[in-house]
Amino acid sequence: VKNLTIIWNHILPNVLTPVLVQSTLDLGSAILTGAGLSFIGLGSQPPTADWGIMINEGRLYVLSGRWWIATFSGLAIFLTALAFNLFGDGVRDATDPRTRGAG
């Protein structure tokens, strides 16, 4: 049996699922990190559209009655990170052999 056949048939299917789960969970963290860095001015700079920049600029208008600029940007960050984390958790639950038979 050739090494490539062993890798393709046995190793790759067992490695692919944990890599997919970890990458979806890390994607939510990367979105939060990027938005946080942009919020404090260390990420992308103002002509670039970024959720952190939108929240930073929107916080100036919160007290003047235009609260939705910062609120909906923060809500978009929250929902996107939550969606990636729930997707990764769902993939893990669906592919984990220890939890397949349970409930």
Q: What is the pLDDT of residues 67-78, one digit of tens each?
A: 988 999 999 999
pTM above 0.85? no
Q: Is 65 left (phi over 0), alpha (psi -120 to 50) or beta?
A: left
Q: Is 43 left (phi over 0), alpha (psi -120 to 50) or beta?
A: beta
How far, in Å, CA of 53 to CA of 39, rounded? 5
- Whether 44 and 50 have beta carbons less than 8 Å apart is answered as yes
Residue 12 CB neighbours (<10 A): 11
Q: Name the pLDDT band for 23 (thresholds 50, 70, 90).
A: very high
Is residue 22 pLDDT above 70, yes or no? Answer: yes
Give the per-residue pLDDT at 49.
81
Is residue 39 pLDDT above 70, yes or no? Answer: yes
